[in-house]
Amino acid sequence: MKDISQQDIDTYVTWCQQHLPGFAICYKDESTLQKWIGALLWPINKRYMTAYTTVMFGKIYFPSRETVALWPKAQMYATLRHEFVHLMDAKRFPLWFEISYLLFFPAVLTMRAYWEYRGYVQNLLVEYERTNAISEETITWIVERFVRSEYGWMYPFRQHLTNILQRTKQRILKGELRGPYPYCEWGKETPT
């Protein structure tokens, strides 16, 4: 198993800064805007401020400095990779990404699940890079994110999503997908 070091994280943050001028790491508990968003989302996601990372305006918002300090380095690294995909998608599809991501009701009629899928491919890739495997627990963990209220029930088709993630897993295991930013098509991802 490959351990992730602080140097790995710092190198990745520097790489993000090179690709995204204005890139910064921020914390929700230090942001008035994030506190307002957290209050608005409280009915469907009570953990928005404490357990979820968000991207906005070229920045990654982690819950708090204290929360992140408790995370294993591998979790921090995977989260950075996941959120970087969102930032790159926002850069590549500026208006479309923001509108289609934020307006998630009715959930299954928007592209939010597509954008999140692209981010979660990075979680799979990081696990594979570290362990040379992708566990079924990770697949289940991702599926649960999509089918529950925290993301606004963005894709409630559990079996279909499981099939897509299993195909993605096989593509990663065969070396057909690599990070940190593959341009993915829903269920037919291809790296660039």
**Domain residue limits at 110:** 6-173
The amino acid at 172: I
Domain count, the chain: 1
Rounded Cα gap, residues 146 and 104, in angstroms: 12
pTM of the model: 0.87
| Phi, psi for 179 (deg, rounded to 5) | -95, -175
Q: CA-to-CA distance for 191 and 171, rounded, in angstroms? A: 11
181 in any annotated domain? no
Look at 87-91, 123-127, 167-171, 184-188 and tell me which has the smallest mean pLDDT: 184-188
Whether residue 46 lies inside any domain: the answer is yes
Do the domain assignments include residue 37? yes
Q: Specify if 178 maps to a domain.
A: no
Residue 18 domain-assigned (yes or no): yes
Structure confidence by residue, pLDDT tens digits, 152-166? 788 889 999 999 999
Domain presence at residue 190: no
* DSSP code for 26: E
SS3 of residue 24 by DSSP: strand
Q: Is residue 119 part of a domain?
A: yes
Residue 65 lies in a domain: yes
